[in-house]
Amino acid sequence: MTGKKPTIPNPHDRFFRGIMQQQPVATEFFQAFLPESVQQHLVLDSIKATSSSFVEPELSEQINDLLFECRFTQNEESYQGFVYLLVEHQSRPEKLMPLRVFRYVLAALDRYAKQHPNTPLPPIYPMVFYQGERSPYPYTLDFLQLFDDPLALMKQALFQPVSLIDVNQLDTTQLQKFPWLQPATGLMQHIRDEDITSTIIDLLNQCIHLLNHPNGVDFLDYLLHYAVEAGNIIDVTEFYRMSEKVPEPVKEKVMTIADMLKKHGWEQGLAEGMEKGIEKGIEKGALATKRENAINMLALGSDIEFVCKVTGLPAEEVFRLAEEITSRH
């Protein structure tokens, strides 16, 4: 009676990984299979298998990978590089193999960048070793052919410099034909100014015509909240005075926020005075004023984080006030 053959997990991977960690085997493998254009620059005796792996654990039954560190030469100078070898044992070929390879190479580059933050990225040459049942390999290995992309946009995206919009370098006067984009980028350009008061008022006045659009009020509300939350308003009194000139219906919200800022600035002055000996009773009055201001702002639709910043109240207190307002309705 013949006994049942024991099952060995991942025998293909154990065998291939084991032999490829032997220097003579790895050297011959790359001599045999690397393209001549790559092989002629590879220093063969520099090849060294690393312990790195980028394949998800749940896929290790079907595929595995090996990362080899090596040296390449160019014009009598050598530099570090890697050869990434993805090994596929699964019986069913991976239709999106180029995407998988691309993902793992990016993972390897990301890890290298974190480990060597002050050095340039090394080249990583990827290869796939296939041992599946179906042969020849039935799917494309060209990454760009995976896309339904008649305009070749992915070729531009992958192999040309990244398209960068540096808001600080924009000439917003050239964006005048874009009535929504121009004020938004203009505000972002000035958000770190020492005092953003005049910028806020000017932009709001320029955008009044947008109120005729269904999104107009929300857009101006975003502008105002961003300006107050992220920008610097040095002279609250001046901001209050200038906000009186903003047309309705934006004026109501601007005035409310300006009023809150003005009162908050007054309360900060009281707090400093209290440190010098002003009686404790003022503190209770200031707290009541903060709560009143918070309630007014919440009723106008301001978000909790913004109310906290303007009034100085803790988030827990503002949450409680918001719940009270909700319960009344």
Q: How big is the chain by its Cα radius of gyration, in Å? A: 32
Q: What percent of the chain has pLDDT over 90?
A: 41
Residue type, 8: I
Structure confidence at residue 267 as a pLDDT band (50, 70, 90):
very low
Instruction: Report whether 173 contacts 183 (CB < 8 A).
Output: no
Average pLDDT over residues 203-213: 83
Q: At what angle do helices 216-230 and 181-190 cross, to 10 degrees?
A: 10
Residue pLDDT, tens place only, 152-206: 999 999 999 999 999 999 888 888 899 999 999 999 999 999 888 888 888 877 8
Query: What local confidence, expressed as pLDDT, does residue 7 receive?
Result: 55
Sign of torsion, CA 144 147 152 156?
negative
- φ/ψ of 86, rounded to 5, equals -95, 125
Task: Round the average pLDDT of the chain to a whole number and report it.
Answer: 82
Strand order in the sheet with 77-88: 42-49, 63-74, 77-88, 124-130
The pair of structure tokens assigned to 129 is 């070793």
Output the pTM of the full model.
0.68
Reply yes or no on whether the pLDDT at 40 is more than 90: yes
* CA dist., res. 162 & res. 156, Å (int): 9
* CA dist., res. 268 & res. 289, Å (int): 12
Reply yes or no on whether the pLDDT at 305 is more than 70: yes
* CA dist., res. 286 & res. 274, Å (int): 11
Lowest mean pLDDT among 20-24, 51-55, 189-193, 252-256: 252-256
Residue pLDDT, tens place only, 172-186: 888 889 999 999 999
Instruction: Provide the Cα torsion 144, 145, 146, 148; round to 10°.
Output: 100
Average pLDDT over residues 291-297: 79
Average pLDDT over residues 259-269: 54
Residue pLDDT, tens place only, 216-246: 888 888 888 888 888 887 777 777 777 777 7
Burial 296-312 (b: 16+ CB within 10 A, else e): bbbeeebebebbbbbbb
